[in-house]
Structure 1
Amino acid sequence: MRFTVTYRIRAGDLAEARARADAIALEQTVEIPRAVVPPGYIEDEILGRVEETGTLSEGVFQAKISYSPDSAGEEFSQFLNVVFGNSSIQQGIRVTGVEPGETMLARFPGPRFGIKGIRARCGRATGGMIAPVLKPMGQPPAAFAALAAGAVRGGADIIKEDHGLAGQAAAPFEARVEAVAQAVAKANAEYGRSVIYIPNLSGPADQIEARLRFAKEAGAGGVIVMPGLLGFGLVHRIAQDAGLDLPVMTHPSFLGPWVLSPDTGIDHGVIFGTLQRLAGADISVFPNVGGRFGFSAPECLQIADACRAPDGPGAAMLPSPGGGMSVERAADMVRMYGQDVVYLLGGSLLADPPNIHLAVSAMRKAVDAAES
């Protein structure tokens, strides 16, 4: 079964839009003039097919183009290359939908854990989940471990590292992960919780595999991957590894330019929802409305809906809005996102680090009250 990509196209009229759609179908597959496409298998199967075109508004059109699974093969990076490779360099073309079809879903089945699996690991069957963020960079491992232990005490569900924590000299990856994992395990035992610690996966390409194994052996409950920097293929690789058995939380760093222009790039729900989910992410982090990044409420809801849609690829995953979170906004966030959500808490928790448990507890109570 072929997979289908929906594009929004800027053009002077429908005829021009159809010509642009034909050009996309060529560019994303054979990348040669139509007149020299070899007959037979390449023309009949590999060449992209414009299935339909239509008018959305004045100067704005929509095209649906289908592609053969053979053009993508078994590689997630090549799948993305077919979805929006060279055409992403052209003006006036934006991806607004991806329908993977049965064949690609068999190759890329989506999250290993999804909402149900993450809830089972954290021991929270219902309700919004609380995820304090360990920051800022520059502190030693012991400081991050103390913050993590306090967050467990306060009632967190997930301890997330900031995406800026990498291999800096102040807190090298191995020393930091080991210290925090031990602190979380000890606090879980002390307070009777099942909080999972998710460190940020980083490092040179030739060290990523070793760091994955180290995180697993140290007791991490998952890993954060920045697909904009490390690749969506890495998300898929981790999600498919039964031996690792680690949930994946994806972070939006470096992906902003894909969504910020209305006429180019990829829709918010597609890149932070559909594609993350298809790659195998269990939790997708994105900038929350009202924070410092400027995503609108409709854009955030588009992401959350794509993460949780029953007819989406694979198991539904958890949207994780971050930025602008506070006790005062808890009720509004619950009304907006519902219960299947991971709330990221960052700077608002760090006014008094030794008493971070009080800040986490306050947020937990505010979310619970809003949901009751």
Structure 2
Amino acid sequence: MRFAVSYRIFAADPAEARARAEGIALEQTVEIPRDVVPAGFVEDEILGRIEEIGREGEGRFRATISYSPASAGDEITQFFNVIFGNSSIQRGLRVIGIEPGEEMARRHPGPRFGSAGIRALCGRPAGGMIAPVLKPQGLDAEALARIGYLCARGGADIVKEDHGITDQPMAPFRERVEKTAAAVARANAETGRRALYFPSLAGQADELEANIRFAKAAGADGLLIMPGLLGFGVVSRIARDPALNLPVMTHPSFLGPYVLSPDTGFDHGVIFGTLQRIAGADISVFPNVGGRFGFSVAECRQIADACRVPEGPGRAMLPSPGGGMSVERAADMAAMYGPDVVYLLGGSLLRLGERIGEGIAAMRAALDAAEAERA
């Protein structure tokens, strides 16, 4: 019934590591000194429990602490708060693994669609998927819709808005969503294919619910969410609603500080894979190796593995590397990520202007050739 979190603890010796683990168990639950923890239910069930602790290397220890589902309740915000709330403010602690356990997996079932569901929606039964990005910020709604039309007409699997396009006066959210959804639908009608349109959810906190429903009614096929800014609860709210029945793509904006320091925060696979799956995302965007953000091959593989591992949590989801993507790199990327991936294409396509479909077709051919060679 209990769920477990594995932490990397930086400490001088085993005694310090155990003391820090005991501190985490207190901090993440009762947040009072050990000698005043009430006996009975609070001590036996609510208080975090050290399940194992051992040395990883010089100055590094791994501790697994279990927690009661009663401590987390039904809210995903409190679940994540127990995983790494106050302890995230301390130095020398890093979350390196999460095992939700049977009860928390029931409360938070994960992606509604997952990899298989997204493939069914866009009609791409196998192979890497191509997702051009609508940008740059500053274009009006008509111009962005035109790019969306060209991308869908050219063979995109997913037409995704840039995360930086929200509700600016140049292209207000509702006008943009209406026009782009109509443009993508027109392209789909002309080609007989099924490109999916994912607008970037925007609005003040009290506007989000209405904007979610507006996007659905306007013909959006999914939503792009920035959980680092809007919150993981927004992802969960959309994923759990059968009436909406909309897939979610998450974007890493604002989450960088959680992973960039090696001795604090989260492992890359935990925050861009495990946490996104628990919240209910179907596609997780992250910075690709070789792009401008400096993620390593090992870090990107860790993310992709966490997105797709069959053991969960929930359905397997699609990793979506972005940055530095090109036709020339297609073979290397296919070899690195395999077929279950969504490739983001931005600036390299926009250089082609009205010929953007040629770039998508070239990328499709390069991916198909690389995957056929691997088969």
Calculate the TM-score normalised by the size of structure 2.
0.99
Counterpart in 1 of 2:57? 57
Counterpart in 1 of 2:312? 312
Counterpart in 2 of 1:268? 268
Question: Partners of 2:202 and 2:254 in 1: how far apart?
Answer: 14
Counterpart in 2 of 1:144? 144
User: Deviations along 1:102-143, whole A, 9 cap, x unmatched?
Assistant: 000000000000001000000010000000000001001111
2:354 aligned counterpart, secondary structure: helix
Counterpart in 1 of 2:127? 127
Paired amino acid for 1:210: A
Counterpart in 1 of 2:43? 43
Counterpart in 2 of 1:333? 333
Paired amino acid for 2:167: G
Counterpart in 2 of 1:347? 347
Identity %: 70
Counterpart in 1 of 2:323? 323
Counterpart in 2 of 1:215? 215
User: Deviations along 1:249-269, whole A, 9 cap, x unmatched?
Assistant: 000000000000000000000
Question: Partners of 2:94 and 2:141 in 1: how far apart?
Answer: 43
Paired amino acid for 1:3: F
Question: Partners of 1:31 and 1:152 in 2: how far apart?
Answer: 52
Uncovered stretches (5+) of structure 2, i.e. residues with no partner: none
Counterpart in 1 of 2:96? 96
What is the number of equivalent residue pairs in this alignment?
A: 372
Paired amino acid for 1:251: H
Question: Partners of 1:247 and 1:58 in 2: how far apart?
Answer: 43
User: Deviations along 1:270-314, whole A, 9 cap, x unmatched?
Assistant: 000001001100000000000000000000000000000011201
Uncovered stretches (5+) of structure 1, i.e. residues with no partner: none
2:259 aligned counterpart, secondary structure: helix
Paired amino acid for 2:331: A
Question: Partners of 2:183 and 2:170 in 1: how far apart?
Answer: 18
Question: Partners of 1:5 and 1:110 in 2: how far apart?
Answer: 18
Question: Partners of 1:12 and 1:170 in 2: how far apart?
Answer: 55
Counterpart in 1 of 2:163? 163
1:54 aligned counterpart, secondary structure: strand
Counterpart in 1 of 2:176? 176
User: Deviations along 1:184-230, whole A, 9 cap, x unmatched?
Assistant: 00000001111110000011000000000000000000000100001
Counterpart in 2 of 1:363? 363
Question: Partners of 1:107 and 1:223 in 2: how far apart?
Answer: 22
Counterpart in 2 of 1:244? 244
Paired amino acid for 1:225: I
After the TM superposition, which parts of structure 1 deviate over 4 Å for at least 4 consecutive aligned residues? Answer: none
Question: Partners of 1:272 and 1:32 in 2: how far apart?
Answer: 32
Measured after TM superposition, the shift of residue 352 of structure 1 is 2.5
User: Deviations along 1:317-369, whole A, 9 cap, x unmatched?
Assistant: 00000000000000000000000000000111111221111111111111111
Question: Partners of 2:25 and 2:236 in 1: how far apart?
Answer: 26
**What is the RMSD computed on CA atoms of the aligned residues?**
0.5
1:15 aligned counterpart, secondary structure: helix
2:182 aligned counterpart, secondary structure: helix
Question: Partners of 1:25 and 1:340 in 2: how far apart?
Answer: 37
Paired amino acid for 1:353: G
Question: Partners of 1:85 and 1:128 in 2: how far apart?
Answer: 36
Paired amino acid for 2:311: D
